[in-house]
């Protein structure tokens, strides 16, 4: 946690909340990234434009942050197999849990959804357990 800064966390969290609120207010859609991405999978979608724009905004926003601060947003100290494996397991988990941390943790909790509360507690608990096992049991 040596890189934690409360101001950047507050600004980042506020921007995530604002973008989720605006998407819901202006488009009637929740900003669940896994559902948003899954909605692009059928070949012909009438609502593909806003989905692509939202995803492009996530990538461009990261690039703007990197350009403005001159530092990487995330650094990994594990190899690609662990990163890819984690991504695959996360994708499977979002399908089983019918949503991801942005859908349940940001949008669902804001709507006081009990299902989203259970999902978010599960995400955080399993994430913590995974880190513990990977770091302290497996030594990754």
- Measured CA to CA, the distance from residue 32 to residue 22 in angstroms comes to 13
Which segments of the chain have a pLDDT < 70?
A: 1-3, 43-45, 72-73
What global pTM score does this model have?
Answer: 0.70
What was the pLDDT predicted at 28? Answer: 85
- Residue 70: strand, helix, or coil: coil
Alpha helices in 29-78 (DSSP H): 33-38, 48-69
Q: What is the mean pLDDT of the chain?
A: 84
Q: What is residue 75's predicted lDDT score, i.e. its pLDDT?
A: 74
**pLDDT in the model for residue 2:** 63
> What is residue 129's predicted lDDT score, i.e. its pLDDT?
93
**In 3D, which of 84, 78, 81 has the Cα closest to residue 140?**
78
Q: How far is CA 74 from CA 107, 117, 125, 139, in A?
A: 24, 27, 22, 21
């Amino acid at each position: 946690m040596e890189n934690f800064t409360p101001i950047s966390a507050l600004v980042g969290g506020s921007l995530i909340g604002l973008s989720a609120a605006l998407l819901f207010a202006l488009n009637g859609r929740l900003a669940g990234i896994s559902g948003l991405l899954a909605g692009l999978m059928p070949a012909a979608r009438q609502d593909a434009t806003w989905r692509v724009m939202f995803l492009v905004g996530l990538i461009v926003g990261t690039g703007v942050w990197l350009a403005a601060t001159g530092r990487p947003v995330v650094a990994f100290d594990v190899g690609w197999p662990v990163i890819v494996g984690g991504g695959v397991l996360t994708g499977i988990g979002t399908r089983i849990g019918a949503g991801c941390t942005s859908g349940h943790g940001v949008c669902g909790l804001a709507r006081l959804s009990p299902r989203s509360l259970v999902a978010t507690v599960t995400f955080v608990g399993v994430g913590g357990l995974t880190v513990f096992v990977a770091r302290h049991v497996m030594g990754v």
